[in-house]
Amino acid sequence: MALRYLKKAPKTAATDAGETRRIVQKILDEIEQGGDKAARKYALELDKYDGNIVLTRDEIEAASAQVPQRLQDDIRFAHDNVQRFARAQRDSLRDFSVELIPGLTTGQRAIPCRSVGCYVPGGRYSHVASAIMTVTTAKVAGCQNITACSPPRPGVGINPAIIFTADLCGADRILSLGGVQGIAAMAYGLFGSPPADILVGPGNQFVAEAKRILFGRVGIDMFAGPTDSLILADSGADPMLVAADLVGQAEHGYNSPVWLLTDDQALADKVLALVPRLIADLPEVNRMNADAAWRDYAEVILCADREEMASASDDYAPEHLTVQAADPDWWLNRLQCYGSLFLGEETTVAFGDKASGPNHVLPTSGAARYTGGLSVHKYMKLVTWQRATREGARPIAEATARISRLEGMEGHARTADIRLKKYFPDTSFDLDVAK
Ligand SMILES: NC(=O)C1=CN([C@@H]2O[C@H](COP(=O)(O)OP(=O)(O)OC[C@H]3O[C@@H](n4cnc5c(N)ncnc54)[C@H](O)[C@@H]3O)[C@@H](O)[C@H]2O)C=CC1
Ligand SMILES: O=C(O)[C@@H](O)CS(=O)(=O)O
Ligand SMILES: [Zn+2]
């Protein structure tokens, strides 16, 4: 059966992409030319901030002292879970060596990137949890030089809880800069920071586009832009929990899609009735975000059965995927495209967002078709090495000479010839390509 849209979105992640690209490219170009001064200009223009950019130790201590003890304890609890999950990831990655043929030993090493730039979003909300996710994971990976940046609030600076968290998790430097200017400062090495080898962290469409444009010149974790979330629910799901979870993630921003796929029309109807009520009950900023996201980006789709639900879900490749349906193991085995999966109503996306351990920096806008979320592995380069004895080199050199000649690469072939001649002077080799 064809999917039946009970609610179809007029907008998608591609809406306004060209305009975003134009804006971001202009800011990047200006900051590359103008350095610190141009970055400061944008901090003033976009975030109404002209204060100190690189936080001093005194400023960090003063900000930390403003964070109430219980909140500090909660942040430490979340940090501990994220750290333990990241350590398990690091331990799943191992160096190895293998003798492929006698005398030829090859190997893999995982080497952490030296210099990391962590973006911590802070425009609409104060994303303390994002500081935990990016900085902690870089630290566990073994990165030596970690810079974090986050948008200052007008005239005041970064939210104190973000400063406390970035420092707790191991940031070596904190910059009061948001958006494209923050990303540019870390990529280009402004304000005395070393240029980043890799930029990580989530952000709005401007931040995500800046990372995308800079990719190649620096590494990036992935395209982690406006949050999106999909729920798979069957007739056994609790409509109130489904509706609350959709609204919970729609509050991220006016462009944060939420999608519901179900094989039960009665459930869909109840959720469709509940969502506007839950949105109306939110505080003002959250309500405005969720209202626009629901109106412009949300979809509710009726499917024939769970197989059709799973297949359609893989096409969306959502950042967050929640299953509120029977037989969680079936879904775990069947689903293939998502950033992070939440099985059963006892867990929910917000748990992963804030405290449970698996990273919340995740691929958006369909990027989950080809990548997972932020992990220790994203900060590590998997490099290879090889060494050989003269006997081990012999068959490799023979094959190399002939393959190189077949390709027309005579210079390559001669690097093999010269070794065979040196190591086996009394042997003659047929190193020509067969005519
Ligand atoms: N994919 C993921 O893993 C996660 C994604 N997010 C997403 O991060 C985003 C956070 O967005 P925000 O609250 O906006 O904070 P943000 O920190 O990403 O962006 C704020 C900055 O945007 C810049 N900006 C605002 N308007 C601009 C304009 N017209 N032109 C150029 N620059 C402009 C300002 O410089 C400001 O500092 C949300 O979309 C949220 O869904 C958040 C957490 C995780
Ligand atoms: O996209 C995400 O992962 C966000 O939902 C994380 S948070 O809720 O902003 O912490
Ligand atoms: Zn969230």
Domains of the chain as residue ranges with CATH: 20-221+377-381 (3.40.50.1980), 226-372 (3.40.50.1980), 389-435 (no CATH)
404: left (phi over 0), alpha (psi -120 to 50) or beta: alpha
Q: Are strands 219-220 and 229-233 parallel, antiparallel or unpaired?
A: unpaired
87 pLDDT above the threshold of 80: yes
Which one is catalytic: 30, 59, 251, 319? 319
Average the pLDDT over 401-406 and give the result.
Answer: 98
What rounded mean pLDDT belongs to the chain?
A: 97
- Length of the chain, please? 435
Q: Mind listing the pLDDT tens digit for each residue in 57-85?
A: 999 999 999 999 999 999 999 999 999 99
CA distance 279 to 293: 10
Cα(129) to ligand 2 centroid in Å equals 8
Average the pLDDT over 160-184 and give the result.
Answer: 98
Average the pLDDT over 240-268 and give the result.
Answer: 98
**Banded pLDDT at 18 (limits 50, 70, 90):** very high
The answer to whether the CB of 179 is under 6 A from ligand 1 is yes
125 pLDDT above the threshold of 90: yes
Residue 293's pLDDT is: 98
Average the pLDDT over 314-324 and give the result.
Answer: 98
- For ligand 2, atom 10, the nearest C-alpha belongs to 353
357: left (phi over 0), alpha (psi -120 to 50) or beta: left
Q: Which atom of ligand 2 is nearest to 364's Cα?
A: 1
- For ligand 2, atom 6, the nearest C-alpha belongs to 353
Annotation says 320 is catalytic: yes
Cβ < 6 A, ligand 2 pocket = 127, 129-130, 202, 227, 252, 319, 353-354, 360, 362
Annotation says 19 is catalytic: no
Which one is catalytic: 320, 345, 360, 398? 320
Residue 170, CA distances (Å) to 55, 135, 184 in order: 14, 6, 21
Cα(315) to ligand 1 centroid in Å equals 26
Classified as helix, coil or strand, 76 is helix
CA distance 358 to 337: 17
Say what the ipTM of the complex is.
Answer: 0.98
417 pLDDT above the threshold of 90: yes
Cα(203) to ligand 2 centroid in Å equals 10
Residue 361's pLDDT is: 98
435 pLDDT above the threshold of 70: no
Cα(225) to ligand 1 centroid in Å equals 8
Residue 233's pLDDT is: 98
pTM of the model: 0.96
